[in-house]
Amino acid sequence: MADSPRPQPEKIRCDACPVLCFIAEGRSGACDRYANHGGELVRLDPLTIIENAAESGTQAVPFLKGTDGSDWDGDILQGRRPFVTAVGAGTTYPDYKPAPFIVSQKVADADMVTVVTEGIFSYCGVKVKIDTDRFLGHERAVVRCQGEPVGHVMTSEYGSKMLSLGGVEHLTGGTKKEGRVTCDALLKLCNCEAVELTIDDGATVVVQAGAAPIVNGVTEQRMRVGCGSATIGMFASQWAQHVDEVIVVDDHITGVLSEHQAGKLLNVPPTGIKIKGRRSTPGRYFQVAEPGTGWGGTDIDDPLTILKPADAKVAWQGLRLLMVSTTGEQHAYFELDENLEPQPAELPADLQVSVDRITENCEPSVCSVLFMGGAGGSLRAGVTENPVKLTNSVKDSLTHVSCGGANAYVWPGGGITVMADVLDMPSNSFGYVPTPALVAPIEFTMRRTDYEALGGHTDSIRLVDEVITEDVRRVGQIDPDADPVARRNYRWKPGS
């Protein structure tokens, strides 16, 4: 008699996102955040609580034992109390369900409610600030990862280059590969991992939140102290008594000491030294060279190439000339010969001190990554059955919005568009679903009376002590074989 075939364990349906994975026993879904454990759907990332204690400081403590969360060192909303974050909480998909955790606790005699959920963000991206004077790419140039377009170069800010990466146009508006690569790049950046980006007609740069950028294989050390004009203004009094002319080379505004107002007030006489470029106000020049990775963010390696012939009626033999970049990394000292040609000479000690001071005043170069996303229907419906009331409550400052416990900036105008520094959030706060979209934690905190007033899911409120249980990883499931009416009428409760 032949052996009967061994029964295959049943797969279970995960409805945490639109992919609706069927997950076999011991396996995880496509997002790696939900798994089949003994026929139950569980979260692989434990829900996180942030605690602030006078003895130990602020730290992240997962609900489940055996996981170290000591990397958190940020502030907590509303002082010394446990604060439940949405890291690992789960989503509200397909939108009609209350948020996975709606937690109540007393804070200074006020009954507070925190609504905790992980949002599926198709409308999301990151804004990247890169502290460097180097040329990365022209404004509006396409930024690529693995050859796929993932964003563009934004307008530069003072001492920094700016990138806008992600967004729904790249996640869902291009090819499938573009969407996957964009989602992967965003996930790594938001989780503070390094990502290599190439910019059309520009540089290759490695970006990592909290780390120095690597431009064309060279690690950037410092951001500029200011533009060339500002540098003249800051250090003019330290130069006037030791040198006849100073030119601070900068891609944006190159400064010339003798022409600058700072030099005139210090009685620095005209020198007859002329430079190329478009003259703005006295001592300030635009477009002295093309953008690049050389002196002051220009494409020059030899500073003398920006000089015109000296004015023989004004210049003199022995004139002392210092040329320096806005970080002090590049500098050179010259003296004019009998033909009024600048000749290299040893930098005097007094001028070395001023050059070193420029460098000293340059802050370390670092990459900043800010997550930005729009909290849409599924998020708001998880808080209240009338989503616009949540939007109004946020605008009226009755509801505080945070991301993984980090304060979030809420943009003015319609909707709930938030922005948060990923360095303020616990490690690995972000996940993804292969639609593709990012999964990011978001919390809404308010007084219980305000929550009731906006029509919140009050029957799903639980005390914080009831939330910290060993079954926190269990996820409510739907019956994949249920008819559409039964599915539509299913009343989901956390942990059910």
Cis peptide bond N-terminal to 100, omega within 30? no
pLDDT at residue number 35? 76
Whole-angstrom Cα Rg for the chain: 29
Question: Dihedrals φ, ψ of 220, to 5°?
Answer: -75, 140
The pLDDT value recorded for residue 344 is 97
All residues at 6 or more sequence positions from 349 whose CB lies less than 8 Å from its CB, including other chains: none
Q: How many Å separate Cα 73 from the centre of its chain?
A: 18
Q: Please write the tens of the pLDDT for every residue from 374-385.
A: 987 667 888 888
Give pLDDT, residue 84: 73
pLDDT at 74: 33
* CB of 354 closer than 8 Å to CB of 419: no
- Residue 273 is predicted with a pLDDT of 96
pLDDT of residue 188: 96
Report pLDDT for 463. Answer: 84
Q: What is the pTM of this model?
A: 0.81
Beta strands 367-375; 124-131: pairing state: antiparallel
Low-confidence ranges of the chain (pLDDT < 50): 1, 51-80, 478, 480, 482-496
Question: Which sign does the torsion angle of CA 172, 177, 183, 189 carry?
Answer: negative
CB contact set of 306 (below 8 Å; sequence gap of 6+): 247, 249, 254, 275, 276, 277, 288, 289, 298, 300
**CB within 8 Å of 176: residues ≥ 6 apart:** none
Q: b/e for 144-160, b at 16 or more Cβ within 10 A?
A: bbbebbbbbbbebeebb
Give the span between the Cα atoms of 351 and 333, in whole angstroms: 9
Q: Which of 30, 5, 7 is nearest to 19 (CA)?
A: 30
Distances (CA, A) of 329 to 73, 150, 173, 213: 34, 32, 43, 17
Do 399 and 387 form a contact (C-beta atoms < 8 A)? Answer: no
Across-strand partners of 474? 42
pLDDT score of 67: 31
Q: Is the separation of the CB atoms in 237 and 314 below 8 Å?
A: no
Domain ranges of the chain: 12-122+376-489, 124-223, 230-360
The C-alpha angle 391, 394, 395, rounded to 5 degrees, equals 85
